[in-house]
Every structure is written in C-alpha cells, then in structure tokens.
Structure 1
C-alpha cells in the first residue's frame, strides 16, 4: 500500500507532466509560426524538435502514471521501470528528429531559400526559447528531487532544445547581417548533430537504470551510516547491495547475529533497521537476510562492524 508521501509525489509528478504538455504545445506553436514567417530551414528544424518534445512529454506522463501503479501478481516489484522506457523512447524520437532535419537541410542546400520576416521570426523563436529554458530548469530540479528519470530526461531534452535554439538565433542573425543564406542549412545540420548526441546520451543513461544500476555513492554512504546507527544487537552487516528502479531504491543486506539470539530478537533488529533505512531513504524498500555468527566476514571489503 502506498504511503501518503508516495501519493503526494505521484500527484506532483502528474501535475508537472501535464504542465510539460501545455508548455510543449505553446513552444511548438511559437516555433512553427517563426518558421512560417521566415521560411528558414534552421527554424524549421527547431520547430520539428518541438513536435518531438510534445510526443516525449505525452510518453513521460504515461510512464509516470504506469510507474505509480501498485505491485501485482505479474509485477511483484511494481512498475517503476516504466519511466526508463519512456526516457529510451524519448532518445529514439530525438534521433529520428535529427535525421529529418538533415534531410530538410540537404534540400535547402540544393535549393537555396531567402529568409524573410527576420525580426518577427527571431522574436517568436526567442520567446519560445525563454519558455523552454525556464521549464527545463524546473523539470531537472524537480525530477531529481522526486527521483523521476522521465522528468529528468525530459528536462535535459528541453535544455538541449534551448541550446540549439540559441545557436539558431545567433546564426540567423549572422546570416541576416552578412547575407550568407547558406548559413541557414549549415545551422540546421549543426542542430541535428547536437540533437543526435543528446538522444544517444539519454538512451545510454536510461539503459543503466534498466540494467539495475546501483544507487549513487551519496545514498550508499547514508545507507551504511543508518546500518551502523540502528544495528545494535547484531555483529555485522555485509553484502549490502542496492538497485534503482525509477523513484524506488531496493536495499538488500546480510545481517550477522549471535548464534544464541532468538528468532524474535533477530526479527526485532531487522524491523528496526528496515524502518530506519526506509525513513532515511524516501521511497526505498529494504530486505534483510539474517545469518548466524559463523557466517561473519570481518575481513571482507564492504563489511560493516556493529
């Protein structure tokens, strides 16, 4: 059963996910308007990525809702990894967008285009970029705080969009000043290259989560500290392992107790440790395996004396 804190987290993630869709629609409209006004292939590439942003935001919201479902018979550990799948999908969509941009840039090389309505187009693109920049910062900050891979991936995607938009605006300004319209398709190719890099980066990051990547060093240090503070009565802990699945961190460890200790006494220590770990690491789930003292590994690396 989910706790009130978990329910609040899910509601917050849902609200942010809906906000991402609204922002993506507004940015897409502004950038496509800028393309229609100018006819710039670079602005077209920027608008095309905004369509990907919208699809990615929809996928992120769906993944957040799926990951919030409780464990069931077929998924006893829950649905938390759905967010990683969303992030992989987002990376694939980014790569597809880059390929489409390169194709459009090639057409512009073959048939050069004159840029029109420069001032209005740049103003519209600048407004869309500012909106994207503010929202990307919020997604990354809140996604990290809520341990949501889908939101963090969406935030980095938008940040890459902001960086390319800034480059496009600067490049088109240079093209307008110098009259070198060939800069327009060249900028589009540069945008495509940056987008490709961003897509591969998101995919590789998400694959780590799908492959049960361990919690980061800071969280592992906190786990070991909790074990030292709350393991009174036991002899040592070893084989401490973690794996991260979306917002949940699974913690497993072996706890060595005196051979003369009763099952009730050992169970009480385990309950105390599990409660302390789950209180310290929000959203974590701890499982402890009790062992007799002849199983002690005092000299082994990673052993925690108690």
Structure 2
C-alpha cells in the first residue's frame, strides 16, 4: 500500500540530534544576550522614571533572563545521547526547563499585580518619560529580532523549550506597546492611574502566557501523543511497503528534540524470521529518513495467527478488536 510523503523540516525528530542542538543552541544563546541587554536598559529606565509599568517590564525581563539561562543549559543536556542511567535519552530536560519558565512567569505576574495595586492606591509621578519610552522602543526592536530567530528555530526543531522561551518574548512585545502607552499617558497627559493599570494588564498577560507554556511542557512530561496528523504520517510511512499488511497499536511521544515511536506490524505468517526482520528494518529506515531523531520499536505479528498480547490487550479487557483499533 504505497503512499506519497512530502518531506518537511518542521517538528520534533526531523533533524539529527547534532543539528537540532546547533540550531537550538544558537537560539538560546541569542535569547540570553537579548535578555541581558533588556535587563540593563530597563533597569536604567526605571531608575530614571519610577514607572511601575517599566518596573513590570523590567521584572518580566529579569525572569526571562533567568528562564533563558535555564533553557540554555537544558537544551544542551537534552541533546546528550542516551546513557546507562537514561536509556531513553535526556529529551525531557527541555520540557522541565519549559515548565520552570512558566513558574517564573507566573511568579513575576503575581508580584507585578501587587506592585500595580500599590501604585493604583498611591499614584506616583512619572519622570523622564521620554527616556523610558526610548528604552521600551529599543526593547521592542531587540525582542522582535529574537522572536524571528526563535520562530525559525522552532519551525526546524519543534523544540518545546525554545517555544516556551519565544512565548515569553512574544508576550513582551505586545506588553511593551501597552507599557509605552501607559508611560506616555502618565508622563505627558497627566493621567497617573494609566501607569499602574497598564502594569496590571501586563501581569494578566503574563499569567496567560505562563499557562500556555506550562500546558505545552506538561504534554511532553506526561507523554502526550503526537498530533493526529503526525501519527497518520508515521503510519503511512510504515505501511509504504506492499509486504506490510497492517500497522496497529501505534504509540508516539516527544521528548525535546527526540520522538519515540512504537507499533505492531502485521506480516505474512509464512515469512521466515529473516524476511520479517528485513521488512521491519526497511520500515525503520523509511521512518528515520523523515525523523532522524526517532527511537523506533516495531513488533512484527503473523497476520491472522497472532495471539492477542501486550498491555493494550490487557487494558482493553481482552477485546482483540479494541486492540486492533488502538
């Protein structure tokens, strides 16, 4: 049952671990550099202006720097090959780093809400508003460049850690617009309450961003299946051999730059063990040509003669048809 497959570089598993590490390493190094510049410049802007909106953005950038440093090291650890203590590799280090990012952002949002409330109750004058706005414009330019670079890295590697880092800076880009509006209204239009209100809006945005990042990280940590379209593609590639009768009990999961694929494959029961092995190896090679960073296990079954077995059979309550459709 032959199939046509369009090759794509997007998503986890499609690049070799070495190439994925190179791309994600560049993205995280760039992230750390940008975050460091933003922290220094926003610290100066806050010192000059006293703006809570600037302080909100500064706190966000400081936590972004901490999260980016964690990601910087996690990416490198996740790309390390499997060893005696970690037979399935170290890919989940990316998901762990991404989850820590979400916690950092949520903490930042809580602190910013408190600060915004204090400034709302006791409005404070904004000084040096022009300098503060100039710093925020610089922040937007640097952040936009970083997001572009990270988007390219995610499209090629599917890295959940870089994706989480990008979520921070995407939120920053939008919040910076709000911060500029708040500082301008407080400094030039004599509307001091605009500053803490904008700070609170930024904090709520950060809470939402943290939830999105945490959800993606938990999907990997809890071994969520790959998207249906990706599963269908994997099955089609495995079945792209007229000697393969059927593929079932397909299980997939992502772990950083790696993906893990398991399946049962129905073959002619009259085949020799050597012939069956040849078909299985050919299927593995087809999958590896599309997913170079995949760990693949294929269990051959004699079609029509295989006794129902495995965890899926036990969980189905002994229903062979349920196992077949799994």
Maintained 8 Å contact 1:256/1:295: no
- Asked if 1:12 corresponds to 2:33, the answer is no
The alpha-carbon deviation at position 6 of structure 1 amounts to 2.4
Q: How does 1:159-198 map to 2 (within 5 A)?
A: 159-198=170-209
CA shift digits 1:217-272 (9 cap, x unpaired) = 3322221221232x332322211221111111111111112221100000000000
Q: How does 1:51-200 map to 2 (within 5 A)?
A: 51-200=62-211
TM-score (norm 2): 0.86
The alpha-carbon deviation at position 21 of structure 1 amounts to 0.7
CA shift digits 1:79-122 (9 cap, x unpaired) = 10000000000000001111111222233234321111111110
TM-score (norm 1): 0.92
CA shift digits 1:129-184 (9 cap, x unpaired) = 22112202321331231121110100011100111111111222233343110111
Q: Find the counterpart in structure 1 of residue 48 from structure 2.
A: 37
Match of 1:255 among 254, 265, 270: 265
Structure 1 pair 5–244 and aligned structure 2 pair: CA distance change class (3 A) = closer
Q: Find the counterpart in structure 2 of residue 27 from structure 1.
A: 38
Alignment partner of 2:239: what SS? helix
Alignment partner of 1:255: what SS? strand
Alignment partner of 1:276: what SS? helix
Structure 1 pair 234–63 and aligned structure 2 pair: CA distance change class (3 A) = same
Q: Find the counterpart in structure 1 of residue 316 from structure 2.
A: none
RMSD of aligned alpha carbons = 2.0
Alignment partner of 1:294: what SS? coil
The alpha-carbon deviation at position 301 of structure 1 amounts to 8.2
The alpha-carbon deviation at position 295 of structure 1 amounts to 4.6
Give aligned pairs, total.
299
Q: Find the counterpart in structure 1 of residue 292 from structure 2.
A: 282
Maintained 8 Å contact 1:138/1:155: no
The alpha-carbon deviation at position 8 of structure 1 amounts to 2.6
The alpha-carbon deviation at position 16 of structure 1 amounts to 2.0
Alignment partner of 1:288: what SS? strand
CA shift digits 1:272-306 (9 cap, x unpaired) = 00000111123122210011122579x958979xx
Maintained 8 Å contact 2:125/2:186: no
Q: Find the counterpart in structure 1 of residue 315 from structure 2.
A: none
Maintained 8 Å contact 2:83/2:89: yes
Q: Using CA pairs under 8 Å that are at least 6 residues apart, name the structure with larger relative contact order, 1 or 2.
A: 2
The alpha-carbon deviation at position 28 of structure 1 amounts to 1.2
In structure 2, C-alpha distance between the alignment counterparts of 1:181 and 1:291, rounded to whole Å: 73
The alpha-carbon deviation at position 9 of structure 1 amounts to 2.2
Q: Find the counterpart in structure 1 of residue 7 from structure 2.
A: none
In structure 1, C-alpha distance between the alignment counterparts of 2:116 and 2:297, rounded to whole Å: 55
Q: Find the counterpart in structure 2 of residue 234 from structure 1.
A: 244
